Amino acid sequence: MNTNISPKVQPLDASQIPAARPSKFKLALRELWRAPLSAKFGILVVCGYIFIAIFAPWLTHYGESEIVGGPFEEWGKKFLLGTDNLGRDMFTRLLYGARNTIGIAFVTTCLAFLIGGISGILAAILGGWPDQIMSRVVDILMAIPSLIFSLLLLTIFGTSIPVLVIIIAVLDSTRVFRLARAVSLNVVVMDYVEAARLRGEGLAWITLREVLPNIMPPLVAEFGLRFCFVFLTIAALSFLGLGIQPPTADWGSMVRDNATLISYGDITPLLPAGAIALLTVGVNFIVDWFLHKTSGLKDGQ
Amino acid sequence: MLSILRLTLQRLGLGVLVLFVVSLIIFLGVELLPGDLCQAIQGQSATESTVAACRKDLGLDQSAPTRYVHWLQGIVKGDFGKSLANGRQISELISVRLQNTFFLAIVAAVIAVPLSLTLGILAALYRNSWFDRTINVFTLSSISFPEFFVAYILILVFSVKLGWFPSLSDVSPDTPFFERLYKVFLPALTLTLVVMAHMMRMTRAAIINLMASPYIEMAKFKGLSRGRIILHHALPNAWAPIVNVVALNLAYLIVGVVIVEVVFVYPGLGQLIVDSVQKRDIPVVQACSIIFAATYVVLNLTADILSIATNPRLLHPR
């Protein structure tokens, strides 16, 4: 994140760089090597999920919503994890579910950060009445529990993926706004921001080049946590039948559709739920480690 | 004492204002519908005359501010209008369910609050021991689990494998108290597990934070035991953040209850709102939303006021 603010230095050729100083990449690798077991586990899990999400079609030879057998077939050679309530291959849907559920949650989180982050920084820079207005609007939006609010909005606008993404992104951007504003307030009083203002830099420059790089660490950590939250919200809504709609494979609705199997002691419906849990645990572990690193907290705090 | 009273009154005033704005948002949300409620209900089959009749029936021929005032007056009197799906009085639909939901939330709170406070204090007391570490990993994971995952695991273990508790919590108004308690045990346990983690971590953090302050060090030098220091010196000052987080988590119960009720087919308000969203029964969703939102606002307000009231520094203004 610091690469773009390096001042104008004479370019050095390789011989002039002291050999003892390792590159950024090496430093990062070394840091990773020293990370606690939980963080390594988290990184492994997240990488695994990304791999599955990208390569889902190559990992299975059934289609996403293709009906390939009878309903609720047993685990076996032909269907690795059996089939679901309509006779679609469970394993295939689990793989595609990674793509859909994670993809939609990721897009939503990015949108939430775009809205919340920018308005938060702007509120801190501008101060005065723009800050007052934005803060009060956020206060009011946060006064309604977000699941209930999204249920209300979904009733009004109907359930479709774009509507879902926008509703959750907007409701979630309120928390991003609060954080971005709070951390930016500490930065906007710095002399270099004042200097940029006196230089006559525009609002966009101050937001993106002066404030944003300096509030990155807490925002990155928050991104992880918000992603988990959004991911769980979308899964919950899909579980309630109000999120991602069939025939799109999605972990929340897969649990709902196959829940009857649980009363026969079959754990298949728990697999998508477990997949959700594993990813959020992984992300949480990484965030925990990252916060620990960037805030310089000592053990046990 | 005066400053506490003034702050409390300020918060109460603010709370009433927030409730008012929330009701306005819930009302105005529906106005965002493309077309209006009647066109939305009738969809393709709408004709001029049926839509006009429906508008008259629902009072949509009046202006929005008039309808808002009527709606709000009705709510204050406990009249939420009629359901679109079956034409029944919404207040009738809600009353029993509301009691059920509150019953479930209260049972969960009664289990969760003492348990998480005790565990949090113990974790602070035996900081960095295996007990503390286990609890830390456990809480971090349980925050990350979706409610329905926890719920189905509990069903699988306690209901299917062991057969101790029913997996369906089908209570009716004339279910006796103890049977009711038995039937809501699994949903309440799910909610407990979901909200406990946060409360426990905050209790632990609040106490550990205080342990670094000079007056605690003084108590240590006097030779007091760790347990006595925590209970008599640290805890009174930690109440404010703890009480705050407890109230916030009780507010969170209100949200968690929606999913848990659906899993256990528990006849509560959460299930009603989900059913109504599916049927797009807007007046019922509005009524449920306003009840949930009001409970949430009131609990947050309580959190605020309690943290003011339990702050010993405010008792002795300079």
The beta-carbon neighbor of A299 closest among B26, B128, B140 is B128
Residues of A in contact with B156 (CB under 8 A): 262, 265, 267, 270
In terms of C-beta density within 10 A (0-12 exposed, 13-18 middle, 19 or more buried), how is residue A117 classed? buried
Give the closest of B25, B137, B160 to A263, CB-based.
Answer: B160
Across the interface, which of B263, B274, B296 has its CB nearest the CB of A145? B296
**Nearest residue of A to residue B261 by CA position?**
A240
A149: alpha, beta or left? (left if phi > 0; alpha if psi -120 to 50): alpha
Beta bridge partners of A67: A88
Strand ranges for chain A from DSSP E? none
pTM: 0.81
How many Å apart are CA A63 and CA A56, to the nearest integer?
10
| Alpha carbons B194 and B111: distance in angstroms, whole number | 12
Q: How many residues can be counted in chain A?
A: 301
**How sure is the predictor about B303, in pLDDT bands with cuts at 50, 70 and 90?**
confident
User: Is B157's Cβ below 8 Å from some Cβ in A?
Assistant: no
**What's the CA gap between B204 and B206, in Å, rounded?**
6
pLDDT per residue as tens digits for the range B30-50? 776 666 667 666 666 667 777
Report pLDDT digits (tens) over A4-46. 444 455 555 555 555 556 677 777 777 777 777 778 888 888 8
Is the Cβ pair B160, A301 closer than 8 Å?
no
What average pLDDT does chain B have? 80
Q: Which of B277, B286, B291, B301 is the best mutation test for A, with the most CBs of A within 10 A?
A: B277
Rg (C-alpha) for chain B, rounded Å, is 24
Q: What is the pLDDT along chain A (301 residues), one digit of tens a residue?
A: 444 444 455 555 555 555 556 677 777 777 777 777 778 888 888 888 888 888 877 777 777 767 767 776 677 666 666 777 777 777 888 888 888 888 899 999 999 999 999 999 889 888 888 888 888 888 888 888 888 888 888 888 877 888 889 999 999 999 899 888 888 888 888 888 888 888 888 888 888 888 888 888 888 888 888 898 888 888 888 888 887 877 777 888 888 887 777 777 777 788 888 888 888 888 888 888 887 777 654 443 3
> Is B296 in Cβ contact with A300 (below 8 Å)?
no
Rounded CA gap, B268 and A62, in Å? 40
Q: Which residue has 């799906």 as its token pair?
A: B85
> If you search the block for the tokens 């830099």, which residue do you land on?
A201
- Residue B170 three-state SS: coil
Domains of chain A, each with CATH number or no CATH: 37-300 (1.10.3720.10)
What is the nearest CA distance from B83 to chain A, expressed in angstroms? Answer: 14
Q: What's phi and psi for B212, nearest 5 deg?
A: -85, -10
Question: Are the C-beta atoms of residues B40 and B280 closer than 8 Å to each other?
Answer: yes
Q: Do A156 and B161 touch (CB under 8 A)?
A: no
Contact between B304 and B133 (Cβ < 8 Å): no
Planar angle of CA A293, A110, B251, nearest 5 degrees: 80
Report whether B220 contacts B229 (CB < 8 A).
yes
Task: Give pLDDT, residue A298.
Answer: 41
User: Who's near A284: CB < 8 A, 6+ residues apart?
Assistant: A42, A224, A225, A228, B140, B141, B143, B144
Query: Which domains does chain B possess?
Result: 38-77 (no CATH), 90-315 (1.10.3720.10)
User: In this predicted structure, what is the pLDDT of residue A13?
Assistant: 56
Chain A positions in Cβ-Cβ contact with residue B18 (cut-off 8 Å): 139-140, 143
Question: How far apart, in whole angstroms, are the C-alpha atoms of residue B297 and residue B304?
Answer: 10
